[in-house]
Structure 1
């Protein structure tokens, strides 16, 4: 099944939204791939690559 949704939650969308809520300027992460990994593993600890959120500097705000 090629999906990023678990129990009605679109994980790719949730990941992007969470990054926006955290005011991250850049998210270095293939969100769709991460969501697909989550769909199969259902644990962030099982994502086989780092999730890196780079905050905006105050100068960029």
Structure 2
């Protein structure tokens, strides 16, 4: 897992919550503070932690 985090700098968080007490909020904020680009995926929010939130992931 350590190698994965050292090689990847972009992480998608599916089901991200914009409620500060939720785990997905806290982990996303922490990961962003460590320099990771967080792709927020939640159809109910437009922006989170100064980055665009996406309605869904498109897999092709």
Q: TM-score range by the shorter chain?
A: under 0.3
Relative to the length of structure 2, the TM-score reads 0.26
Relative to the length of structure 1, the TM-score reads 0.26
| Larger helix share, 1 or 2 | 1
| Larger strand share, 1 or 2 | 2
Structure possessing the higher relative contact order (Cα contacts under 8 Å, 6 or more residues apart): 1
